[in-house]
Amino acid sequence: MGGFSNVWFSEELVKFLALWFSKGRNAISFLNLPLMTDHVKSKLENVVEKEEGVSLLDLPDLTLECIFERLPPNGLCNMAAVCSSLREKCTSDHLWEKHMKEKWGELIGSAAYKEWQCYVVSRNKASILEKSRKKRDLYGKFSKIRKLLWNRSKGNEDGSKVVNSSEMSSIMDWYLSLETGKFWFPSQVFNREVQNGHVGFMLSCYDAEVSYDSRTNTFSARYPSYGRRMIEDDIEWNRLRAPTVDTLPYVLHVSDCLDDLKPDDHIEIQWRKSKEFAYGWWYGVVGHLESCSGSKLNCHCHASETVLLEFKQYTPGSRWRQTVINRKDHREVGNEGDGFYGGIRKLYSEKEISLWKSLLPNSILE
């Protein structure tokens, strides 16, 4: 049965390619197939004489589905431009979900999805206003705006807005908006501005809005800074991650791991230079208190109300090397000279820990 299906699929595909081949279209390269042998070319020429009326749409749906699933994103876009029937098939969400997950799955989180929803609504609103302006129909204009605002006003109890399904865009649209750099989305950047020589940000991760540049396969980032907006270009993929918590950059993260912290645990802690700045996440490890011998057998640090955090990218004796927090009543602590330490999240994933370790500087900072 399987052999018969493969032969049938090949025959149908040969018929389709024969028609394209006879019309001078480069179907072979478009479908990423290997170069044809003389035998296949001969077969195509024979089929052309018999099947002048064959088109892609004559293939069974299952065959079309198999073809479309093997096309790259640019191939699906080209195929969607052929006719309305193919456009409907090639813009299907289930075809684009795979491409979305493969390229953007690890970088796009819930924050980026929420931002995309707002982006679509804003874009649709602008489109409605533009069409209304061209029509110069005041009644039509304001009725559409009222309808849009009414849909946006239907929110959850927590204040988050529910986007009407008719206002939502396809996964293909989202993918292409990311690919072309039109959509700036929330992300976090490791070692910000390191390419500009700012070693003071080593082993940190800061919130930003980022945009993709397909020509260089890198990103640009916009950082919210006090008094000005900083932009960094040429950021590679390995320096980005999706936000790990829903806490906003200016909000103190509520720590839920303080009772579990013990020496050698890996952590991230919020830190900011002053009250006006946004927090960044800084990598560190839990160390042994001065009163502890450092022996695992006799260590009682986990029973203490205080926790020692170490940042080993700095030299011993540096004011940035260590800080102590209260396990039972931890709040933002610090001053304008040393900065302010905020919430803590414990790292359980080896993947996260390995990523931080890969960013360790070659030399210890002062």
pLDDT of 192-225, one tens digit each?
987 766 677 889 999 999 999 999 999 999 987 6
pLDDT at 351 over 70: yes
| Other beta carbons less than 10 A from residue 265's beta carbon | 18
Q: Give the whole-angstrom CA distance, residue 242 versus residue 207.
A: 9
Q: Which two tokens stand for residue 20?
A: 């394209």
Alpha-carbon radius of gyration of the chain: 28
* Most trustworthy range by pLDDT among 60-69, 170-179, 225-234: 170-179
Contact 190, 268 (CB under 8 A): no
Contact 144, 128 (CB under 8 A): yes
The predicted pLDDT at position 129 comes to 61
> For 350-358, what is the mean pLDDT?
94
Q: Give the whole-angstrom CA distance, residue 144 versus residue 111.
A: 28
> For 259-269, what is the mean pLDDT?
95
Task: Look up residue 190 and give its amino acid.
Answer: F
**Among candidate residues 67, 78, 177, the one with its CA nearest the CA of residue 119:** 177
Q: Give the whole-angstrom CA distance, residue 195 versus residue 188.
A: 16
pLDDT at 18 over 70: no
| Other beta carbons less than 10 A from residue 162's beta carbon | 12
> For 155-178, what is the mean pLDDT?
59
Q: What percent of the chain has pLDDT over 70?
A: 70
pLDDT tens digit string along 174-197? 999 999 999 999 999 999 987 766
Q: Give the whole-angstrom CA distance, residue 356 versus residue 54.
A: 57
The predicted pLDDT at position 28 comes to 40
**Among candidate residues 67, 180, 161, the one with its CA nearest the CA of residue 118:** 161
pLDDT at 165 over 70: no
| Other beta carbons less than 10 A from residue 309's beta carbon | 20
Q: Give the whole-angstrom CA distance, residue 243 versus residue 266.
A: 18
Q: Which two tokens stand for residue 364?
A: 């210890």
Q: Torsions phi, psi of 285, nearest 5?
A: -130, 155
The predicted pLDDT at position 156 comes to 41
The predicted pLDDT at position 295 comes to 81
This prediction's pTM: 0.72
Q: Give the whole-angstrom CA distance, residue 256 versus residue 262.
A: 14
**Among candidate residues 178, 208, 179, the one with its CA nearest the CA of residue 193:** 208
Q: Which two tokens stand for residue 42?
A: 């001969």
Confidence label for 24 from pLDDT (cuts 50, 70 and 90) = very low
* Measured CA distances, 100 to 21, 64, 237, 244 (Å): 32, 21, 15, 20
Confidence label for 227 from pLDDT (cuts 50, 70 and 90) = low
Contact 356, 265 (CB under 8 A): no
> For 46-56, what is the mean pLDDT?
55
Q: Which residues is 341 bridged to in the sheet?
A: 271, 333
> For 14-38, what is the mean pLDDT?
45
Q: Give the whole-angstrom CA distance, residue 282 versus residue 268.
A: 5
* Measured CA distances, 148 to 171, 332, 357 (Å): 22, 41, 48
Q: What percent of the chain has pLDDT over 90?
A: 42
Q: Which helix (H) or strand (E) holds 128?
A: helix 110-135
